[in-house]
Amino acid sequence: WGFDIFEFDKITGSRSLLFCGWEAFLRSGCFSEFPIDWQKVTVFLAKVESLYKTEKQTPYHNRIHAADVTQTVHALCYDLGLSAFYDPMDWFVTTLGAIIHDLGHHGKSNAYHVAMQDELALTYNDKSVLENFHLSLAFKMLSGNADTNLLSGMSRDQVAVVRKEVIDMVLGTDMAQHFSRVGDLSRLISTIGKDAEVWQSDDAHMMVLRAMVLHCADISNPTKPFKLATQWSFRVLQEFFLQGDAEMAAGVPISPLCDRVNTDIPGSQIGFIKFITLPAFDLLGILAPKVKDICVVEAIGNHKVWEHRSKNRDFYEETRDPNFGQVQEEDFYPDREAGLSGVSTRVVDTFIQAELGDDENIGTDTESRLPMNSFWAQLWGCSCR
């Protein structure tokens, strides 16, 4: 669960999505369960990676984030126990959904695109603008090029299932749907319990679960060790602040959390953990207890750290500087133009094994949950993703 995607991205020469995507398909048995051409998978992953922005272009919604979500989905299922609910098709569509879920993201939120009434907002009628864009871009790439169409060996019925289920999952990553999706899962757990066979007996149940697994992976940053979680926090805040700068320049209202001068930085993290992340992971923890033992405990610890650091406001003032978080890629990836040349698969494999081999017992104290409030529902529904 504490896989260091930033270190892995350095080791792979900024090709973390290609390697994570390949490993996820391989380890989940997709190559043995489905007629998938490994060469097409390789070309597909390379093309997908090229369509994501670099971290210099978008501090948060970039190829590293996509790689992280892909690895996190696999960890949630394979390491933390949710795989008991999954059949081979569930594995395949969840892996594919994670890989493409933010494809082509420009670093601006749905609220920004709608406020600007730009091409994306007009194309998708202000509804889940980015999520529809990511899906459209991915499926156009799959259907429009034989070299990247990893679905070409599947039957027509299988392709229809893949498309339907991936669309539902990626649309479920829209933060505007967060509370309704959490409510759907909560009601199902209350109604049908934890029996995996019962869940598998009705695809409508699995649609809800698959979407929440991907969504939880997408909002999982606060459930990671603080060293990783805080890096993601500053990256997303920097992206928000760049959006706020653009909104100010355009003369439109600055979105919540996007004002680099007035945003309460520790408070934004405390609220996100308390009202967004923890309730969602608590629900998954009912189905897979390891989620509570590891993810929820990490999130509670991070929440306490942010509460402590909220007392030292000066520590965060540098975050408001327009130059804060501007990653200089040459500092980290001097051989980016060389592609995969010089990247040792032995080194990559060794790193993966070392990371996945860490089975740290973090504890079981889950602490009591605080109730959600409507302010956070509105705040994160309009400013995120």
Q: What residues are labeled active site? A: 61
Contact 229, 221 (CB under 8 A): yes
How far is Cα 82 from Cα 90, in angstroms, rounded to an integer? Answer: 11
**Side-chain half-sphere exposure of 108, counting CA atoms within 13 A:** 20
